[in-house]
Amino acid sequence: MAPYDRKYDEKRDFYRMMVHASVTISIPGSSDSFMGVTEDLSATGIQFVTDAHLKMGQTVQISVQPEGKTQQPLKADLEVKRVDVTTDGKFVVAG
């Protein structure tokens, strides 16, 4: 089904899956790494919550840890596209 044929507000090319898994965020060229929890995942992006204050346009490396030990982690380089702050001071990062 083409995006323009859909009868609802979601017009993305890829569906978002609600995935709650641990994610490790690393800064290339640095020994800094942070933890987070994914909120959703699609073929072209991810959204996660973290204590790390990442900046829009920043490149990070992520590793999403599956719950079972039978699967390898999902690893990717990611450009931060959006950062929102929650009421409790955490950061919601989309890339």
The pLDDT tens digits of the residues spanning 51-81 come to: 999 999 999 999 999 877 778 889 999 999 9
pTM of the model: 0.79
What confidence category does residue 41 fall into, taking pLDDT thresholds of 50, 70 and 90?
confident
* Residues 49 and 92: beta-carbon distance below 8 Å: yes
Looking at residue 17, its pLDDT comes to 65
CA distance 64 to 67: 10
Angle at 63 between CA 67 and CA 55, to 5 degrees: 130
Q: With 50 as the cut, is the pLDDT of residue 6 above it?
A: no
